Amino acid sequence: MDTPKATKSFLTRPENFTDVSRGKPKPFTLTGAALEKARLTTATWRLEIVSDGSTQVAHPRKLEDNTAIDYATLVELGKKHGIKFLKAMQCNNIAQPLGEGLWEGVPLREVLKLAGKVNNIRRVYYWGFHNNDPAQIFQCSLCYNHVMETPPWDLPPFVAYRLNGEPISLLRGGPVRMIVPWAHGFKSVKWLQRVTLTNDYKANDTYALQNNDPDSYLKTAAYLDDGPQQFKAGEPITLTGTAMVGWSGLKRVEYWLRPDTGTHGRLAEDDPAWQKAEWKPCAILPPPAHWGGSLPEGVMPKDVWGFAAATGKPKDWPLRFSIAQWTVTLERLAAGAYEFRARTIDLNGFAQPEPRPYQKSGMNLVQGKQFVVTA
């Protein structure tokens, strides 16, 4: 069999991400003076780092005394501490990933150091620009440990200022956005403006209000591409899709094909058919042969996190927190109607949606589709 070739581009153009934004008006609709007043231009952007009264912060960074961090300071910090990394954005409540980018930013821990010594801290709260209506605040939080200490093989949370080799657009949450690599989108606050250091130990996440698990992290799961639903008998049938590589990594993608059972593709989560399903392997596409063409101009593969300096190739494949592509070719199918499902197996050996089928900590139900083979 020939090695399947990647069919989709690796990075999503910033304007083609599926947008998930609250707010009225949405910050990216502001222009001119309103945009400047919102401090959402590179010249007017500021980041505050303050205590909520429960911690002691040696050098708080505040708007009122002109000590808030500006864009130039952040970019300067990036010259020393900046990291480029690949990551897909995914919403806790939307199955398909929203898009994948090459992000660039400074680890949040380096930015926090600009506020000096902090005592009595347990959590980091942060929010993005919003209007004066408190109901519009989009905020969330991380525990202090996860900000300051991440294992060397994991990406830390970032204060990000570039996407796909360009400044982050207003549409994608620029000029500066938080990116929490292992988390769903709601931790990656757009239009970042304020960090509050607190002794509180509880999550304050806006997303926790809708019964979402505020500590959920990215799940490994397979998704099906759209495509033809009719084929001719005798012709090979190629089906493709993507897989999100979550925190627990991706071992393989599998498919299950069976004759259509006449339920319009519906199969209850507790249907005994799941237990008898025969799963067979799909092929995961290899990394692009030439990373140069897959990365933004001027970005060297060896400078991307997780790539080997000597070879310019990713050390692991598929890359965690990114999107893998898979394909399978079905041969000699008899005429008839079929149901096709795909699932992932993570590096722990868990088949999707296990080990945590609870969907409010990240959607990952097994997807399926139907197709017909005509004589």
Residues that bind ligand MTE (CB under 6 A): 17-22, 89, 91, 98, 128, 138, 172-173, 185-186, 188-191
Give Cα 6 distance to the centre of its chain. Answer: 20
Comparing CB distances to Mo ion, the nearer of 21 and 261 is 21
Tell me the closest approach of the beta carbon of residue 250 to Mo ion, in angstroms. Answer: 22
The sign of the torsion formed by the CA atoms of 174, 179, 183, 186 equals: negative
Binding span for Mo ion by CB under 5 A among 95-103, 136-144, 178-186, 328-336 = 178-186
Residue 325 beta carbon to ligand MTE: minimum distance, rounded to whole angstroms:
20
Q: Which of 14, 173, 185, 353 binds Mo ion (CB under 5 A)?
A: 185
Distance of CA 313 to the CA centre of its chain: 21
64-93 residues in contact with Mo ion (CB under 5 A) are 91
Cis peptide before 287 (omega within 30 of 0): no
| CA pair distance 28, 41, nearest whole angstrom | 11
Whether the CB-CB separation of 159 and 141 falls below 8 Å is answered with no
Q: Which is nearer to ligand MTE, 193 or 248 (CB)?
A: 193
Which of 303, 305, 345, 310 shows the shortest CA–CA distance to 324? Answer: 345
Q: Is 148 helix (H, G, I), strand (E, B) or coil?
A: helix
Asked whether the CA dihedral 264, 269, 272, 276 is positive or negative, the reply is: positive
Question: Which structure tokens are listed for 255?
Answer: 């498919």
Nearer to ligand MTE, 63 or 277 (CB): 63
**How many whole angstroms separate alpha carbon 160 and alpha carbon 150?**
17
Structural contact between residues 159 and 108, judged by C-beta atoms closer than 8 angstroms: yes
Nearer to ligand MTE, 174 or 301 (CB): 174
Are 191 and 129 in contact by the 8 Å Cβ rule? The answer is yes
Q: What is the pairing mode between strands 323-330 and 237-244? A: antiparallel
Per CB under 5 A, 114 contacts Mo ion = no
Considering the complex, state which of residue 207 and residue 256 has its C-beta at the smaller distance from Mo ion. 207
Contacted entry of Mo ion, ligand MTE, none for residue 370, CB cut-off 5 to 8 Å set by kind: none
In the 8-state DSSP scheme, what is residue 259? E
As measured in angstroms, the least distance from the Cβ of 6 to Mo ion is 27
Say whether residue 363 binds Mo ion (CB under 5 A): no
Q: Does residue 223 sit in helix, strand or coil?
A: strand
- In the list 6, 20, 35, 337, the residue contacting Mo ion (rule: CB under 5 A) is 20
Q: Which of ligand MTE, Mo ion, none lies near 84, with the C-beta cut-off 5 to 8 A by kind?
A: none
Pick 18 or 238: Cβ nearer ligand MTE: 18
339 contact partners, CB below 8 Å, separation of at least 6: 257, 258, 259, 260, 261, 265, 267, 368, 369, 370
Residues 186-205: x where in contact with Mo ion by CB under 5 A, - otherwise, as a string: x-------------------
Binds 189: which of ligand MTE, Mo ion, none (CB < 5-8 Å by kind): ligand MTE
The residue whose Cβ lies closest to ligand MTE is 185
Q: Which is nearer to ligand MTE, 179 or 342 (CB)?
A: 179
- The residue (of 17 and 340) whose beta carbon lies closer to ligand MTE is 17
**Nearest to residue 125, comparing CAs of 134, 107, 110, 112?**
112
Name which of ligand MTE, Mo ion, none residue 128 binds, using a CB cut-off of 5 to 8 Å depending on partner kind.
ligand MTE
191 binds, among Mo ion, ligand MTE, none (CB under 5 to 8 A by kind): ligand MTE
Find the shortest distance in angstroms from Cβ 139 to ligand MTE.
8
Q: Which residues bind Mo ion (CB under 5 A)?
A: 20, 91, 185-186
